[in-house]
Structure 1
C-alpha cells in the first residue's frame, strides 16, 4: 500500500554486489517539512512570550529608552542620578564604559517602567464599580477610569497579553458569605428550618470558619486563582459517574439553513476552519475577548490554551486532563471504524476540497470494524472507574495503546453520523428534540466523550459539537464554534455543493486504526454501553424557539433581558411544581486571572415575593406586581454583578469545604450547604461575535444555541440563547424517571410565563386575574 511505503524513509537489501540502499525522497521531504513547521511554531511561541511578557510596553520601546538615555548623556546631564557611574566597569575604555553602563541602566529603567505599567493596569482592572452603575449613566470616576484603562492597555494586544495584568480573585469575608447565604435560602425554608440553619451558620462563622478562611487566604496569596484548580479537580475530574449527559454539553448548527447537503463537503470546510482557528490560536493572533458590558475590559484567556490536542484521561480515583503542544491529524469515526486523517501534506494545511476528498474516502471505505471496535467509544460514556481499569489492563501496550494514543493525541474527534438531523420533516419541533439528544449522547458509542470537543457531521449536511467540560467552560467552545460557522460562508461551496479548490491525487489514504480487543474487554464495553444507554434513554429533552418577542421589547420595558427570563423561569417553575427551589444560574468570573464560573442564586426573597403576589387573589392591582417584579429583577442584577466581581457565595463555600476535608474536620454547616440539590439549573449562552452574522438582513443564519443535561434527578436543566431583537431559544432537559417533571410541559409553562410578564410590564395592558385552573391571566388596569 502506498501509505505503508511512505511510512519509512529508506529501504535496504543485501545483494551479491553489496548493500542496495533506496531512499524515499518523499518521506525525507515530509520529515524535513515537519521539522521546519515544528521549529517555526517554537520560534513563534518564543516571540509571543517575549511580546506578552513586556506588555503593555513593546520590545521596540527598549530601544527608545536606550537612545533617550544615551542622548541625555551627550547633553552632559545624568538622568540616573549617579547610578550609571556606579555601573561602569573599570576594565574597559571610557567610552565603552559609558555606553555599556547606559544600556544596563536603560534596561533596568525599562523593566521598572513595564512593572509599573502592569501594576497600574492590574489596579485599574480591579475597579468594578462601573458594573453597578445605572445603565446609560456613567459617573465621572468611571469615565476617568475608562480613559486610564485605554492609556495603560497598550496597542495591538495578543491573545494572552493581559494575563499578567488581570487581578486575582478576591476571597470574600466569612461574615459576608454567611450573611448572603442565609439571605438566599430564607424564602426556601420555614421558620424552624431557617432558625436551625442560622444557628449552624453562626457557629461556623465564629469558630471553624475563621480557621478555614486563614488557609484559603494563604492559598490566594500563593495561587493565581484560589478556586479554579480545586473546581476542575473536585467538581469535574473526581466525579466517577458518566460524563456523557451529566457533564458534557452540546452546540447546534444553523437553525434554518444548511450550506450544503453533502456530508463530506460540510466536513471539509468545517475541519479546515478549525485548523485555521488553531493556527491563529497558536500565533496568539485571536483578539482578546472582552466583557460584553464593556469592550475595554479584557477577560481571562487561560482556558483557550487547551482547546485542541487535549483529552481527559480516566483514573480510578481521579481523571486528569492531558494536553499536547501539537497534532497534525484528526481521528474520524464512521460505521464502527476509527480512522487517522492527516490534515497536513508537505508542511501545508490541506485545502477544504482535499479534506472533503479524504472524508469521502472514509465514507466509501467498505472495511468492516475489527472485533470489538464498533462500540469501543462506550467506555468513555459509562462510569469512569471501569473505563480506567479497562484502559490500564487492555490499552497499555501493543497495538491497542498505539491506536488509543492516536485518538487521545488528535487535534479533535470527528463522527460521520449515518442519521439525518435538524429542523425538518412534518414535525420540526420533535425533530429539534431528537437533534439535541443526538448531540448530547448519540448512540452512546459513536462519540469519544473524553476529547476536549467532538464534531458530528450528519448525513444531510447538518453538524453539531459536543464539549467535555472539565478543561474549560462553554463560552470558550462557543467562540470557536461561532468562528467556524462564520467561515463556512467565507470559504463557500460550488454550485454542486462541493468545497472549492483542487485535489492533490497523491494524498495517502486515511489510516484505519487497528485494535485487538479481547473478549473480557468486549464484556466491559457492553456493560459500559448498558449504563450509558440507560442514562441516555432517561433524558427527556425539548428545544424550542420563542419568537413572539425578544430582547427588543423587553428592553423597552426597562428590564434586563436576563433578569426578565430568570423571573419567567421562577414563575414557570412555581406553576409547574407548586413550590420554589434552589436555582443555579452560571455566571463567569473571567474578569479575574484563571477565572471560571460562579453561581447566581436566582431564587431570592424578592423573586418569591413577586411570584406569590402574582398568584395571590388578594393582590389589589398590577401595580403591586410590577413594583415587586422591579425589585426582584434589580436584586437579580445585583446578585449577577456580585458573582462576576468575586463576591459570590458558592465558590467560597466550596473552597472552605475542600480545606475542611484536607484538615480532616467536619462542618455540619458546610456539609448541609454542599448537599443542597439544584432542581433548576440554568445558563445563558449569549452570542459573542455578532459581527460574523447579519441576522437583521439574513435572519435565517441563526443558531439554536446549545444545551446540557439535568443536574438533579427531579429537576430541570435550562439553557437559553437571546438572538437578535425578536427570538429566544430554549433547551430544556429533565428525566423520564421523575413523574413530576416533563420537558414539554415545562416548555409550555415558560412560554406562558414570558407572555404573562410582558403583558404585566407593557403599558395599557392587563393586570393579574385567576383562571378556572388557578393559573393567572391578565385583565385591564383600573
Structure 2
C-alpha cells in the first residue's frame, strides 16, 4: 500500500492555526460499495433511454466490474484506515479533491473561481458622481472598503485566537471548521520545474494585505505580531486607501502606459504558462520581481479597488466584473505599437490565485475566491459576518446597546495587546511594488491580456431578481423545501427550451464530518421528470401536477439528506477512480463502469447549480462547468429569489426568462388547484382568499399564458411529452 500522507500530485503546505484546536469530528464515511452502485444506477437511469440503461446495468452489475470495483473499494478502505492513523483530521476524499483543483491546467478564471456580491451598504451614499464627501468621487469606495476590511480583520483575529464561534446547523449540530485554516494567507502556486501540479500554500504568520488600484500593487501591515488589528476603526484605514488612489491618479499622466505593469494578469493564464513565467522570474538576476511575488502570495487577502462604477441597470456587467473582470479595449491609434495599454478592463486589476475583496467606485462590493481549499459555505460565513458587522458599526455609533458579531468587540480597543513591542517594525504606510520588466515579460503580459480578453468575450451573464415570492411562500403553500422546489423550476425551464432533460448538479455540504467538502446531488429523477412532463400533458390536471411536484421535491430532499450524511455516490466513485489512476493502473484493469458512456454522462454537468442563500448577499455566480452548459447560482430569501445564469453564449437570457415564467406558472397551478375560482391571488403566507369582482368569483383561464410563453407561443397540449 502506498504512503497516504501526501499524494504525489497536488500538495498543501500550511502551518496549523488555532482553528486546528477544535475537537475532532467524525470521519467522512465510505458508503458500502453496493449501495453506491445502486445509487449510481438510480441517478443515471432518468437520463438514459431504455436501451442505453439496459447496457449500463449490464456493465455495472457484470462480474468483471464488481470484482475490480470490490478490489479498489478494499484498497480505499485500507487507505482511509492508514490516513486516519497518520492524520485524524482528514478524509478519504481530501487529497483526491485537492488534486481535482490543483492538477487543473486551464485558467481558473470562469472555470473555478466563484463570486459573491454583498448587498449595498445603506449607510453609505453614492458619491462617485456628486463628489460629496471627504474623498470626493472616491468617498463611497474608500469608506465601504475600509468598513469591510476592518470587519475582516476582526474575523481573522477571532480565527487566529480560537474565539470564532463554530458553525452549526440551527445552533445545535457542529460543523467542520477545517476550511477556515485556508481562508487567509493562502495562494494557489503554479507548478515548479518538473512538477505536474499546482500547490496550495498558506502562511498563518501573514500580517499584511495587498491593495490593487489600476493594476498597481501596494502593501502594508494590518495585524500586529499578536494578531490584533492595527486599524481598529474604518477612519484609521481610510487615508491609506485614499492615498493609494491619489498616488495613481497623480502619476497617471506622468507614467507611460507600458510602465504600468498589470502583473496580476498572469494569474489568468493556464497553469503551464504561469509556471513558466514564474520560473523565469525566480531565475532572473534581479530579485525584485520574485520578492514582489512572495509578498503578494503570503498576503492575508487582496483588495481590488476598481476605477469604474456600475449602476443598478448594469447588473450583468457587474456580475462579469466580480466573476472574471471586464475587458474594455481602447484602440487609441497613437498607442497601437505598445505591447500594453490597449486593455482598460477590470480583468487587469485582479490576483485570481487568492481571496479578493472587490469594491467599485460607487461602493458596490464583492468577493472572488480561489476554490481549492474552501467552499461557498465557508466564504458565505465570512461574507455574512463582515457585512453584518460593517452595518451595525453605524448603529453602534448611535447607541451602544447593539449586539456584537465578534467577541473581540467586547474588549476595550485600548487593552487588546497593542503594546509598542507588538507593533515594532510594522509597515503601516502603503508601499508600492515596482516591477522590473524586459521584452520577455512585456510580451508575456501582452499575450496573457489578449487571451483572458478572448475568454471573457466567450461568456454571457443574465440576472433575475424574482420578487413575486420566496421561501416563506414555498414552505407555507407548497409544503416543500424551497431548494427542492427551485430545482424543479430549472427542470421545467430547460425542458421547455430544449425538450429534454440533462445532467444537473447541485453540491450538498458534508461539513458534518471532519474535513467535509461536498457531495453531488443529482436533481433529475423519475419523479422530477413526471412532474415536468405533466405540465405539458393534456391528460394531467392541476391537482395531479401538484401531487407530482410534491413527490419530486420529496425525492430531491431525500437525496439531499443522503448526500449531506456522506451517503452519495459521486465522491466514493471518484475516489475509487483516482486510487486506480494514482496507484493501481499497472496492476488492475480499468473497471468497465469507468468506460461506460453513463460515467461520462453523469460527469457532464450541463446544468451546474448552487444555492448560497443569505440576506447579506445580492447575487452569487460562477461559470458553466462544461462548454455546452449553464452555471446557475441562486439565493432563496424569504420573499424573493435571485438567480445568476452564465453560459458560453447559449440562450442565456431566454433560459432565465423561462425560469421566471416557470416560477409564475407553478404558482398559478397551485392557485387554480387550491381555489378553482381564483385567477391570481396575492402571494401571502395566509390561506389563499377568493377574489371577487362585482360580487362574482373570477374564472381562471383554461391554461396559463405563462406556460404558453414557455413554448414560444405554441399550445402546450401540442408538445410531445415522450422525450
Q: TM-score range by the shorter chain?
A: 0.7 to 0.9
1:486-505 matches, cutoff 5 A: 486-492=388-394
Cα distance between partner residues in 1 of 2:104 and 2:28: 25
Partner residue, 2:11: none
Any conservation in 1 of the 2:466–2:642 contact (CA below 8 Å)? yes
Cα distance between partner residues in 2 of 1:440 and 1:214: 42
Shift of 1:652: 0.8
Partner residue, 2:689: none
Shift of 1:775: 5.6
Shift of 1:628: 1.6
Partner residue, 2:444: 524
Any conservation in 1 of the 2:207–2:224 contact (CA below 8 Å)? no
Any conservation in 1 of the 2:505–2:605 contact (CA below 8 Å)? yes
Aligned residues: CA RMSD: 2.7
Shift of 1:406: 0.7
**1:764 aligns to 2:684 (yes or no):** no
Any conservation in 1 of the 2:45–2:53 contact (CA below 8 Å)? yes
Shift of 1:605: 1.1
**1:675 aligns to 2:628 (yes or no):** no
TM-score by length of 1: 0.71
Shift of 1:594: 0.4
> Any unmatched runs of 5+ in structure 2?
1-14, 127-138, 326-345, 398-412, 415-422, 677-699, 718-723
Partner residue, 1:267: 145
| Aligned pair partner of 2:359 in 457, 476, 481 | 457
Partner residue, 2:5: none
- Superposed CA deviations along residues 706-764 of structure 1, whole A, max 9, x for unmatched, are 111111111111111112x211111111112xxxx222111111111111222223411
Shift of 1:252: 0.6
Shift of 1:341: 2.2
| Aligned pair partner of 1:383 in 270, 282, 300 | 270
Cα distance between partner residues in 2 of 1:341 and 1:386: 29
SS in 2 for 1:240: coil
Partner residue, 1:114: none
Any conservation in 1 of the 2:321–2:347 contact (CA below 8 Å)? no
Shift of 1:776: 4.5
Shift of 1:421: 2.3
Q: CA 1:339 to 1:639, structure 2 compared with 1: closer, same or farther past 3 Å?
A: same
| Aligned pair partner of 1:708 in 608, 622, 625 | 622
- Superposed CA deviations along residues 168-197 of structure 1, whole A, max 9, x for unmatched, are 111112211111111112121112211111
The count of corresponding residues between Structure 1 and Structure 2 is 587
1:116-131 matches, cutoff 5 A: none
Q: CA 1:444 to 1:290, structure 2 compared with 1: closer, same or farther past 3 Å?
A: same
Q: CA 1:633 to 1:418, structure 2 compared with 1: closer, same or farther past 3 Å?
A: same
Cα distance between partner residues in 1 of 2:259 and 2:528: 54
Q: CA 1:216 to 1:775, structure 2 compared with 1: closer, same or farther past 3 Å?
A: farther
Cα distance between partner residues in 1 of 2:620 and 2:54: 41
| Aligned pair partner of 1:730 in 627, 635, 643 | 643
Q: Which range moves more in the overlay, 224-233 or 539-548?
A: 224-233
Q: CA 1:574 to 1:358, structure 2 compared with 1: closer, same or farther past 3 Å?
A: same
Q: Which range moves more in the overlay, 257-266 or 762-771?
A: 762-771
| Aligned pair partner of 1:282 in 160, 165, 176 | 160
Cα distance between partner residues in 2 of 1:481 and 1:229: 25
Partner residue, 1:219: 79
TM-score by length of 2: 0.77
Partner residue, 2:102: 237
Any conservation in 2 of the 1:163–1:593 contact (CA below 8 Å)? no
- Superposed CA deviations along residues 84-104 of structure 1, whole A, max 9, x for unmatched, are xxxxxxxxxxxxxxxxxxxxx
Any conservation in 1 of the 2:465–2:643 contact (CA below 8 Å)? yes
Any conservation in 1 of the 2:508–2:521 contact (CA below 8 Å)? yes
Cα distance between partner residues in 2 of 1:716 and 1:358: 41
Partner residue, 1:178: 37
| Aligned pair partner of 2:613 in 686, 690, 698 | 686
Cα distance between partner residues in 1 of 2:374 and 2:611: 16
- Superposed CA deviations along residues 127-162 of structure 1, whole A, max 9, x for unmatched, are xxxxxxxxxxxxxxxxxxxxxxxxxxxxxxxx6665
SS in 2 for 1:720: strand
Q: CA 1:493 to 1:244, structure 2 compared with 1: closer, same or farther past 3 Å?
A: farther
| Aligned pair partner of 1:300 in 176, 190, 193 | 176
Partner residue, 1:341: 220
**1:448 aligns to 2:372 (yes or no):** no
Shift of 1:583: 0.5
Partner residue, 1:546: 466
Q: Which range moves more in the overlay, 515-524 or 461-470?
A: 515-524
Any conservation in 2 of the 1:554–1:758 contact (CA below 8 Å)? no
Partner residue, 2:328: none
Cα distance between partner residues in 1 of 2:125 and 2:438: 41
Cα distance between partner residues in 2 of 1:641 and 1:768: 35
1:509-658 matches, cutoff 5 A: 509-556=429-476, 557-619=478-540, 621-658=541-578
Q: CA 1:420 to 1:370, structure 2 compared with 1: closer, same or farther past 3 Å?
A: closer
Shift of 1:521: 1.9
**1:479 aligns to 2:368 (yes or no):** no
Any conservation in 1 of the 2:120–2:364 contact (CA below 8 Å)? no
**1:363 aligns to 2:245 (yes or no):** yes
Q: Which range moves more in the overlay, 322-331 or 360-369?
A: 360-369
Cα distance between partner residues in 2 of 1:593 and 1:775: 52
> Any unmatched runs of 5+ in structure 1?
1-41, 49-158, 496-500, 691-701, 778-782
Cα distance between partner residues in 2 of 1:378 and 1:358: 24
Cα distance between partner residues in 2 of 1:663 and 1:630: 45
Shift of 1:671: 3.9
Partner residue, 1:434: 317
Partner residue, 1:749: 658
Q: CA 1:642 to 1:348, structure 2 compared with 1: closer, same or farther past 3 Å?
A: closer
Shift of 1:230: 3.0
Any conservation in 2 of the 1:560–1:633 contact (CA below 8 Å)? yes
Q: Which has the larger radius of gyration?
A: 1
Any conservation in 2 of the 1:163–1:300 contact (CA below 8 Å)? no
Partner residue, 1:311: 187
